[in-house]
Structure 1
Amino acid sequence: MTPPRLVVGAALLSDGRLLAARRTAPAALAGRWELPGGKLEPGETAPGALVRELREELGVEAEPLERVPGQWRVAGGTLVLQVWTARLLAGSPRPLQDHDELRWLRQAEVDTVDWLPQDRPAVRWVASRLGDGS
């Protein structure tokens, strides 16, 4: 059996807020919200893939900070998701690929979007560390 391919997700943080991205594809996921990211390319590290994916998908430069504890199987187990917190360094996120809307969410707002199931544990972990935004 082939081991699952690694996917990295970014809990992108700025000013005490978490970035949520609404998917446009595939159809089964369209309209749901996720932490942006994507699959590792051969020879890439998880932090390196995170930097590349945020540049490609959102047009921003970011610095990976800390891996969120845990990992979650996706796509029937063919993929495994790891999430990293990341700090926005430069740029203003815009939906360039795979997304049609972005939202910056404060701690009290993270439950206002319909997160993909595999992202929920990481979102909860990150949200618990955001503070109340006051």
Structure 2
Amino acid sequence: MTSQVAAAVICQEGMVLITRRAPGEKLAGMWEFPGGKLEPGETPQSCIVRELREELGVESVAGEILTTSTFTYPGGAIELIAVTVLLRSAVLSLQVHDRAEWVTPRELLGYELAPADIPIAEEIIRKYG
């Protein structure tokens, strides 16, 4: 069974938001596009708005699906659905992350991204790079 997970692709002024998993979290120390698992009945868009509120304390507007990436971790397979997002508020309140950074698309692959996030970073570079 593959879990569906929404990931936020937040681009502002040519920069992309990535967050680092805090110690004690799954994939601690790895960078990712923030997001989380879809609940039953949720669309990727409604999921990402909820997850960004829970994880970063921000209100957002979800847009189109940019791309998807499937990856099998030791705990199971995920389908990572990258959703373009506009933030309505810019002050982040980190809950499951210990750092957040705005980087250029070309800088993304210089970070230790979670494996499922790498194809999304590559698509961002192709599209916005």
Structure 2: distance between partners of 1:14 and 1:75: 30
TM-fit CA distance, 1:29: 1.4
Bigger strand share: 2
Structure 2 CA distance for partners of 1:88 and 1:28, relative to 1, 3 Å: closer
Higher mean C-alpha deviation, range 79-88 or range 15-24? 79-88
Structure 1: distance between partners of 2:18 and 2:57: 15
**1:81-117 residue CA offsets vs partner (Å, 9 max, x unmatched):** 111111112232231x210000000123222311111
User: Does the 8 A contact of 1:106 with 1:130 survive in 2?
Assistant: no
Structure 2: distance between partners of 1:64 and 1:15: 17
Structure 1: distance between partners of 2:52 and 2:20: 14
Percentage of matched positions with identical amino acids = 36
Structure 1: distance between partners of 2:69 and 2:36: 14
Task: Select which of 102, 105, 109 maps to 1:104.
Answer: 102
TM-fit CA distance, 1:10: 0.7
Structure 1: distance between partners of 2:15 and 2:81: 20
TM-fit CA distance, 1:25: 5.0
Normalised by the size of structure 1, how large is the TM-score?
0.83
The yes-or-no answer on 1:88 pairing with 2:87 is: yes
User: Does the 8 A contact of 2:70 with 2:77 survive in 1?
Assistant: no
What is residue 49 of structure 1 aligned with on the other side?
Answer: 47
Q: Aligned-pair RMSD on alpha carbons?
A: 1.9
Task: Select which of 3, 16, 19 maps to 1:18.
Answer: 16
Q: Which aligned segments of 4 or more residues in structure 1 are displaced greater than 4 angstroms?
A: 25-28
Unaligned runs of at least 5 residues, structure 1: none
Unaligned runs of at least 5 residues, structure 2: none
Normalised by the size of structure 2, how large is the TM-score?
0.86
